[in-house]
Each structure stands twice: as C-alpha cells, then as structure tokens.
Structure 1
Amino acid sequence: MRGLVIPLALSILAHVVADFLFQTDAMVNEKNNGKMKGFLKHWCVVFGTLLVLMLPFKLTDVLMYCLVLSLFHILIDVFKAQIERERGPATKFIMFVLDQFMHLVLISFLLPISSFTVSRGFSSFIGWFSIHTGLDLPSLPLQRILVVIIVYIYVLFAGAVFIRKLFDLIYKNVPDYLQRIAGDSSVLDNVKTGKVIGIFERLLILTLYLTGNVASITIVIAAKSLARFKNFENKDFAEYYLIGTLASVMIAIVGGMILKVL
C-alpha cells in the first residue's frame, strides 16, 4: 500500500475538488430533484478532474480506474439522493457524513486492485523541469503537500456544507428559519454572506493553529463579532451566529489536529 499513497491522495483530492469546488448549486439542485442531467454533469466533472490529476501515470493504467471510480461515485450520489428525497434534515445530515465516508471507502477498495506506473512523458517533464528551474521535484514532500491541500478544502468548503446542514437540523421545527433570523433584508444579506465569511474564518483559524498562533484565534473571532455587533439585538440571529462560529472554529481546529497527527 506504500506505493499507492500518491494515487490515494490524488484520488481523494479529485473527489473533494469535484464535490466542493466544481459542483455548482444548479447541479446540486438538479440532483436533489432527481434529474439525471445533474448526475451526468457531476460525473463529467468527477471523471475529468480525476483523469487530469492522474496524468502523471500511464493512461492505460488509470483510464479504467478513473472510469470505474467516477461511475461508482455517481451511483453513491444517486443512492444518497433517493434516500434524502422526502426525508427530514436529520437524515440529510447523516447522509452527508455517510456519503463522504463511502467515497473514501470506495477509493480505498479500488486502489489495491489497480496499477499505477509513472509515464515516460511525466518522467521526462520532471527531468526537464529540474534542469531549467533548479528545483528537484522528487525531493519535495508531495504526500504532505497533497494531504494539506485536501484537509484545507475539507475544512473550508465541506465545512460550509456541514454547517448549513447542521443549521437545517437544529432549526428543523422552525419553518423559513433564515427569514426569521434575518428580521429585515439587510440582515438577510449578512446571513447570505456568512458562508463566505465562514470560509475565510476557517482559513485563518486553521492556519493560525498550524503555525502555533492559537492565541491569535481569539482576535479573529473578536473582529468578526465586532462587525456583527448591531445584529446581536436580534436574539435569533445571536444564537445563529454563536452556533455557526463555534461549529466553524471546531471544524478548523479538528482539521489542524488531523494535520498535526498526519
């Protein structure tokens, strides 16, 4: 399995990029409504992303692997969408976590029965690149770099999806809870921008944690709270903000702990 570490990391990276960076809201809505074109679009994204990231290996080795993995990826998504349809927030929250786990298990299952040989073209490129830049690519900690990128994407972008589903679960008995929390249109705009703010918040917190500047995390939280100070008069918004902030901090710190262990 040692020689499969790079293919494993590239496969997981392709998964998180295809699911959380290249998958649009329109594709998600089409999948949730059972429209096959949504699944077809997502399959193209998954297959294309996986194939591009596997370019260092011989095409004859990875083409079938990419095809099988991407097809099973979509089958898992179809299975997930069917279960979620007409189900409540609790089921959707559980299925989101289970979906990620199943994708990782699928990758781990397919890797040992596949072969990965570095292509001559890529080897030649490495040699050319090293000569012209003086940078020895094989000496770089590629495994570590890939793991860091994967964890950052999970924390920043999968974290946003996780928090939204967590809110749906917590406020499952409150219809149109975002409208109630907003109170007025200006606050609603703030709620909508919360996703972007949360991404930057987790980026800063994760980076500060990894660099040992844990005390500086409080400054990030304080600055965010100061910017939203007037909105705290709305009790519902204050609770929403607190839950979101705590969840965001927790996700970033857990991501940092995982990176330190790995």
Structure 2
Amino acid sequence: MHFIIDEVKSYIVRIKPSFENSTGLFIIDQLVHIYIIILFSFNLNLKYVLNSLYKVMKSYPYNISILDRWLIVGIIFLSCTFGAGVFIRQYIQAINLKIYKKLIDKKFVIVKTSKEVDIGSPNGGFIIGMLERVFILLVMAIGQPSMAGFVLTAKSIARFKKMDDSGFAEYFIIGTFISFIFAIFGGIIIKTLQVIPVIK
C-alpha cells in the first residue's frame, strides 16, 4: 500500500514538476501514510478505530500518566519551537525559489546590489521565532491568550522600518501567521493536558 502511495506521488510530480519540492504534497503524503498505518493496525476496521478514539478522548487526559503528559509537553515544545522554525525557513525558501525560477523562465535578469547592508545576526529571525513560540505556548497553556498580542506588537515595532519593503512585509506576515498557528495549537494541547496551572 505504501508503495502505491509513493508511486502516485511520483506520478503527480512527473505530470507537474513544480510539485517536486511542494510542502503541501509532502504533508498530504505523510498524512495518508499515517492513516494507512492506523487502519491496518486495526485490521481496516474503521468503526473500531473511531470507537477506540472516542473512548480515549472521553477519559482524556486522565488516561495518560503525569510522566507521559510531561513527555508530550516536551515533544510539543520541541516541535513548535525548533521544528516549526525549520519548517517556516524551508517554506519561505521554497517560495523564494519558485519566484526566482519564474523570473528566470521569463528571461528576467536578477541583479544583487549592495545599496543596503544588513548587519543583523544571520540566525536572528530563527531565534526570535523560537522565543516567540515559547512565549505563546506558555501564555496559551496558562489560559492567558490575550498576552500573545504583545509578541505581535514587539515584532511589528522591531521591523517597522522594513515594512516599507512589500516583499519583506509579505514574508514577515506569512512567517508570523505560520508561527502563531503552530504555537497556538501547541498551547491548546498543553492546556488540555492539565499539567501547567491555569491563571485566572
């Protein structure tokens, strides 16, 4: 079954070469693989799978030991900070490559200028993004989602001058939204695990 899925993916890439490095196609491919594994694990009995999930969710999170809950929290923090950072970086680079490829195909000449020199840290954006997601994860986990607005305000002030560049502004917004989505969903899951006290 996994062989068939990979063959279908290869066929799609052959028909549409631009999908070769597509993030969306990669995610769909992985989700289908996971779905197939789950189905075969339960002997293709979808009703049994749904009933099992219902029973698990009904007693959640008390059916998970405290140690396992903290382990899940650690995995979420790693996934939503470092993992999300790598994903966002790769996604932005993929968008850039597609734009450059289209320009080259249309016979445009790309010229680099040294008009402005950026002396910022080469990994500054990556580190800031990780800290941003850590903060959002924590405020979501303690039940104070409104505090996440401080992150957006601070980032906007720090990048205010660069917002005149429409290209930078687009990437800034895309990266920020993806970052927030990862952190908010991660924070919600952590909150449901009930291991971090909620502040009211």
Shorter-chain TM range is 0.5 to 0.7
2:118 to 164, 170, 186: 186
With normalisation by structure 1, the TM-score equals: 0.46
1:93 to 5, 10, 23: 23
2:167 to 236, 240, 246: 236
CA contact (8 A) 2:143 2:191 kept: no
What per-residue deviation string (whole Å, max 9, x for no partner) do you get for residues 151-193 of structure 1? 111111121122123324544531189x98x974307x46742
1:211 to 142, 146, 149: 142
What per-residue deviation string (whole Å, max 9, x for no partner) do you get for residues 53-110 of structure 1? xxxxxxxxxxxxxxxxxxxxxxxxxx8xxx69xx54664413553576588679979x
SS at match of 1:185: coil
Residue segments in structure 1 that go unaligned for 5+ positions in a row: 1-78, 113-139
User: 1:238 is matched by which residue type in structure 2?
Assistant: A
User: 2:146 is matched by which residue type in structure 1?
Assistant: A
1:248 to 162, 179, 182: 179
CA contact (8 A) 1:160 1:198 kept: yes
Alignment correspondent of 1:157: 82
SS at match of 2:98: coil
With normalisation by structure 2, the TM-score equals: 0.58
Q: Report deviation, 1:236.
A: 1.1
CA, structure 1 residues 146+163, in 2 after alignment: closer, same or farther (shift >3 Å)?
A: same
The count of residues paired between Structure 1 and Structure 2 equals: 155
Q: Report deviation, 1:209.
A: 0.8
User: 1:186 is matched by which residue type in structure 2?
Assistant: D
Q: Report deviation, 1:223.
A: 1.0
The structure with the largest helix share of the pair is 1
CA contact (8 A) 1:202 1:252 kept: yes
CA, structure 1 residues 101+192, in 2 after alignment: closer, same or farther (shift >3 Å)?
A: same
> For residues 261 and 202 of structure 1, what CA distance do their matches in structure 2 show?
18
User: 1:174 is matched by which residue type in structure 2?
Assistant: I
> For residues 240 and 246 of structure 1, what CA distance do their matches in structure 2 show?
10
Alignment correspondent of 1:174: 99
Higher relative contact order (CA 8 A, sep 6+): 2
Q: Report deviation, 1:260.
A: 3.5
CA contact (8 A) 1:160 1:195 kept: yes
Residue segments in structure 2 that go unaligned for 5+ positions in a row: 1-5, 43-64, 104-110, 194-200
1:259 to 187, 190, 193: 190
